[in-house]
Amino acid sequence: MKLNKYAEASFADAELTPEAAAIVEKLKLQAENLFETRALLCAEAVLVTLNEAFDGSLSEEQAINLGSTFCMGVGSAGCMCGALAGGLASVGMFTGKGRLATSNAHARECGKDLHDAFVRNHKTTCCRTLTRNFKEDAAKHFAQCTMLTGNVTELAARIIIAERCGVISEKTARKPLSKAHVLGMRVGNIFRILRKKWAAGCR
């Protein structure tokens, strides 16, 4: 008898070859780095990492924009974990058929696979519940979300690799960012925005 309806093993839990396991670990660390340095938020980090690693159909800008509304439990609503939502979008990108009048039942099964694996690991998908023990501790809250971002990236990557029958990309993971590097990027972006506003005002 199953202990609960999420107890069944899945592609997300399947054993990987050493080569595939090493790549999944790199992707997990990459997503965590993007979040931990505040370069991106949870869903954005998951989507950017998986889209890039598996040659998805999105540009980096599109991946960030797609993930932006999922972050912080869907726009700070505290609903579904943003990292999980980003993982679901990523799995759909690689398992859906992308054609009108065509069943995407298999993509939905893969999405449920990711959902169930996440629940097995964390007991719930609710952002508010996942972080309620850290309301008064910003550092622990941030560490929890970093961990969830990495875990969803790992689970989703396992499903995508299984879908590809173990075939994995030879692309090299991007170099880790530092907080100083991200701060420099933010300052540069602010200057670009101000320059555009100044140029528009001079016309």
The answer to whether the beta carbons of residues 156 and 27 sit under 8 Å apart is: no
- Among candidate residues 159, 175, 122, 123, the one with its CA nearest the CA of residue 144: 122
32-44 confidence digits (pLDDT tens): 999 999 999 999 9
Is the full-model pTM beyond 0.85?
A: no
d(CA 137, CA 175): 30
What are the beta bridge partners of residue 80?
Answer: 126
104-145 confidence digits (pLDDT tens): 999 999 999 999 999 999 999 999 999 888 888 999 999 999
